[in-house]
């Protein structure tokens, strides 16, 4: 996939703005007209010039981002050497792009009064741009270049994993560990980038890499403060504000989820399944028809995982369980998966598709009438029970980060 900084900007914008009929334009109110007049009075001209290699005699546009579609605010035909110059007006910071189409641009972050020199290559406008006269654009390019390197590296690891056979778990583990280190380093870079660039709205670029919005909400708030100061009420400022609102909602949901888990634990306890007590044994067939006993895993830390191929939340959690299995299997951690499937082929296919390499997969293929779920009083999936080396239940309902933190506590 070709990396393009413009696409990153435009995708975020289009994700925020609802669909509308482009032929229907709203009639400006008197207040809007006054605002526009004030902006024109306070705006200052800016110029952009430079040389576009392989751009001789080609037409280039200056695009402005922030509306439903990028707006063309100036155009020029480069001379025989690729030299060009473009002009615009502005008061506050805005995102711009220079290119022949919206899919082939070099991105800029500028405000009125600046004189910028931007040289690039027509065939690689987004990644070959060199800028002078705009420190904010330099900061933005610093992040996007690092982001591209991270993206390309992760894509190469993904291809390596896809090329492996199912049985090549050792090689898969090595690649996963490398990818985790690259991700960890990039996260560290992203956090430092935010802390070191809060003076510039270029810090907005890091928003796209803050996926764990609950645990990264403090960084989102830092970015929002900067955007409020420099690009208040722009689509970009609003995008960060919306993400913070989503994080707050997720925090509220997490609180409710914790209460649900507490209620589930109470229900399990009433059925004789509780933390500190012996985990009831399961002894059911694997995909080859051979019975596997849960008790046979005594001496290991075991995640007993109730799931099914048709359960979307289960499938969504599988990559996290696989990652933790690969990380801790040599320290005595494993997974005993019990499926509530009815169709053997769908069950086997899901194991293969999700790359669930641990050997302990069982099911009696009776769906919600499964004997294993009845033993543990499982009423919904995914449902997990973390079992200690002594066969006693350590915790119930651990998933995602909570599972990872518990395994760190036990095994690191």
Provide the β-strand partners of residue 99: 61, 105
For the stretch 314-344, pLDDT in tens is: 999 999 999 999 999 999 999 999 999 999 9
Tell me, what's the pLDDT at 262?
Answer: 77
Tell me, what's the pLDDT at 29?
Answer: 43
Confidence band, pLDDT 50/70/90 cuts, at residue 198: very high
More confident residue, 387 or 166: 387
Tell me, what's the pLDDT at 42?
Answer: 65
Residue ranges and CATH numbers for the domains of the chain are 5-15+30-133 (2.60.40), 141-250 (no CATH), 271-411 (3.40.30.10)
More confident residue, 159 or 22: 159
The proportion of the chain whose per-residue pLDDT surpasses 90, expressed as a percent, equals: 71
Number of H helices and E strands in the chain, helices first, is 10, 15
Tell me, what's the pLDDT at 35?
Answer: 47
The answer to whether residues 8 and 144 touch, using CB atoms and an 8 Å cutoff, is yes
For the stretch 122-168, pLDDT in tens is: 999 988 899 999 999 999 999 999 999 999 999 999 899 888 887 78
With H, G, I as helix, E, B as strand and everything else as coil, classify residue 61: strand
CA distance 344 to 351: 11
Q: What DSSP string describes 153-206?
A: HHHHHHHHHHTS-TT-HHHHHHHHHHHHHHHHHHHHHHHHHHHH-TTSGGGGGG
Q: Is the pLDDT of residue 223 over 80?
A: yes
The answer to whether residues 102 and 6 touch, using CB atoms and an 8 Å cutoff, is yes
Confidence band, pLDDT 50/70/90 cuts, at residue 11: very low
Tokens of 271: 């059925």
For the stretch 231-255, pLDDT in tens is: 999 999 999 999 999 999 888 877 7
Tokens of 307: 């799931």
Q: Which of 8-22, 134-148, 206-220, 224-238 has the lowest mean pLDDT?
A: 8-22
Tokens of 330: 């040599």
More confident residue, 226 or 1: 226
CA distance 286 to 302: 17
What is the mean pLDDT of the segment spanning 286-306?
Answer: 97
pTM: 0.62
What is the mean pLDDT of the segment spanning 199-225?
Answer: 94
* Cβ neighbours, 10 Å, residue 14: 13
CA distance 150 to 160: 16
Tell me, what's the pLDDT at 19?
Answer: 32
* Average of per-residue pLDDT values in the chain: 87
């Amino acid at each position: 996939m070709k990396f393009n900084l413009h696409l990153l900007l435009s995708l975020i914008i289009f994700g925020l703005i609802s669909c509308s009929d482009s032929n229907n334009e709203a009639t400006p109110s008197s207040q809007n007209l006054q605002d526009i007049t004030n902006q024109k009075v306070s705006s200052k001209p800016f110029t952009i010039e430079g040389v576009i290699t392989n751009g001789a005699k080609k037409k280039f546009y200056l695009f402005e981002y922030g509306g439903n579609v990028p707006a063309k605010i100036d155009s020029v035909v480069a001379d025989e050497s690729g030299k060009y110059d473009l002009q615009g007006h502005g008061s506050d910071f805005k995102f711009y792009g220079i290119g022949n189409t919206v899919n082939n641009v070099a991105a800029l972050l500028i405000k009125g009064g600046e004189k910028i020199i931007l040289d690039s290559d027509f065939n690689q406008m987004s990644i070959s741009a060199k800028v002078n006269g705009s420190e904010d654009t330099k900061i933005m390019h610093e992040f996007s270049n690092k982001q591209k390197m991270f993206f390309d590296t992760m894509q190469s690891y993904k291809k390596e994993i896809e090329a492996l056979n199912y049985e090549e778990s050792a090689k898969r583990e090595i690649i996963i560990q490398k990818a985790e280190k690259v991700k960890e380093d990039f996260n560290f870079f992203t956090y430092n980038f935010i802390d070191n660039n809060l003076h510039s709205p270029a810090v907005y670029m890091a928003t796209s890499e803050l996926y764990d919005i609950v645990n990264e909400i403090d960084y989102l708030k830092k970015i929002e403060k900067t955007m409020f100061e420099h690009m208040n009420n722009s689509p970009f400022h609003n995008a960060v504000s919306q993400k913070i609102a989503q994080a707050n909602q997720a925090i509220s949901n997490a609180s409710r989820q914790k209460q649900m888990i507490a209620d589930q634990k109470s229900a399990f306890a009433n059925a004789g399944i509780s933390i500190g007590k012996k985990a009831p044994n399961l002894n059911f067939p694997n995909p080859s028809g051979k019975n596997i006993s849960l008790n046979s895993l005594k001496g290991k830390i075991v995640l007993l995982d109730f799931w099914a191929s048709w359960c979307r939340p289960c499938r969504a959690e599988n990559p996290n369980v696989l990652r933790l299995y690969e990380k801790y299997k040599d320290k005595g951690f494993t997974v005993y998966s019990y499926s509530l499937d009815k169709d053997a082929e769908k069950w086997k296919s899901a194991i293969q598709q999700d790359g669930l390499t641990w050997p302990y997969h069982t099911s009696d293929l009776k769906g919600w009438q499964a004997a294993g779920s009845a033993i543990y009083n499982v009423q919904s999936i995914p449902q997990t029970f973390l079992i200690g080396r002594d066969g006693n239940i350590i915790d119930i309902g651990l998933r995602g980060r909570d599972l990872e933190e518990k395994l760190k506590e036990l095994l690191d």
